[in-house]
Amino acid sequence: MSAVTDAAPRATRPHPLGQSVRDSLVVAKRNLIRMSRIPEMIIFGLFQPIMFVVLFSYVFGGSMNIGGSTDSGVYREFLMAGIFAQTVTFATAGAGAGIAEDMHKGLVDRFRSLPMARGAVLTGRTLADLVQTALTLLVLAIVALLVGWRTHTNVGEVLGAFGLLLLMGYAFTWIGALIGLSVRTPEAATSGGLVWLFPVTFVSNAFVDSSRMTPWLRHIAEWNPFSATVQACRELFGNPGVSNSGAWPMEHPVWASLIYSALIIVIFRTLAVRKYRSATA
């Protein structure tokens, strides 16, 4: 009788992985509901990428030489992969600020006091940010089509490109999570999240042909994880700008993008969860 009684609690104990998934989805739902009640967060988040599309397309388009052509339509197709990638990476700053705000208000401490998976709070937050990023990409793609951007491959390859973009955005969000846990205020998290993003996005092949850079800068740009995703998207979209540079990430951009994103997730998720366990408000 005692053996049966002792076995009953163990039988009803949730599996750690299942509990982690459930807790993460609950936190993600909480953050999505919060975002839906503050629509200006999404609306203002759309302004910057749309502004970049219009400014770069019409202000700089005619002066850019892409593959020997200065046609603005060619540059628009070259540009869009870079704009898409920049949009998903700049969401990192918002993710860091959101986590820093939760820390500042003591919400993370309350979550830590509950019987829930330790990494669920951060995983749920990053999943909610991923959904918001996907919506932003959808709107941005519509705007891009309106200004003349076109794809020249099949639907599967186009969807694969957007999948790589979301994977990179999710990976970079973990960097934002670590920054948000490491600073004292949301304002500091926003500033800290943007400082490193500008060199990552601009020292790349996103807006200009990296082959025209000085040699030392070109090597940095070609091995930049951001550049690998941009190059992979151009290849999958069938857009101009896919060149043979000799650097492995540029020769195998799809694989490079997958590897870079996976490594960033593993490294920074581990560091963020460790920081979350020891952080105090």
Amino acid at 36: S
The C-alpha angle with vertex 172 and arms to 86 and 23, in degrees rounded to 5, equals: 130
106 neighbors 140 (Cβ within 8 angstroms):
no
What pTM value is reported for the model? 0.84
Is 180 contained in some domain? Answer: yes
How far apart are the C-alpha atoms of 33 and 46, rounded to whole Å? 19
pLDDT in tens, 166-221: 999 999 999 988 888 888 787 787 777 788 888 999 999 888 888 888 889 999 99
Q: Which 8-state DSSP code applies to residue 57?
A: I
Is 145 contained in some domain? Answer: yes
How far apart are the C-alpha atoms of 131 and 87, rounded to whole Å? 13
Domain count, the chain: 1
Place of tokens 């669920």: 120
pLDDT in tens, 71-117: 667 888 888 899 999 989 987 877 777 777 777 776 666 766 666 76
Is 188 contained in some domain? Answer: yes
Is 269 contained in some domain? Answer: yes
Domain ranges, residue 146: 16-278
The C-alpha angle with vertex 162 and arms to 168 and 207, in degrees rounded to 5, equals: 70
How far apart are the C-alpha atoms of 236 and 151, rounded to whole Å? 9
Two tokens, residue 86? 């920049």
Output the CA torsion 214→215→217→223 (10° steps).
140
| Rg of the chain over all Cα atoms, to the nearest angstrom | 21
Is 23 contained in some domain? Answer: yes
Two tokens, residue 205? 């092949």
Is 7 contained in some domain? Answer: no
pLDDT in tens, 128-179: 888 888 988 988 898 888 888 889 999 999 999 999 999 999 999 999 888 8
Is 198 contained in some domain? Answer: yes
Residue 31 has pLDDT above 90, yes or no: no
How far apart are the C-alpha atoms of 38 and 35, rounded to whole Å? 5
- Packing angle between helix 225-237 and helix 253-278, nearest 10 degrees? 140
Is 228 contained in some domain? Answer: yes
177 neighbors 268 (Cβ within 8 angstroms):
yes
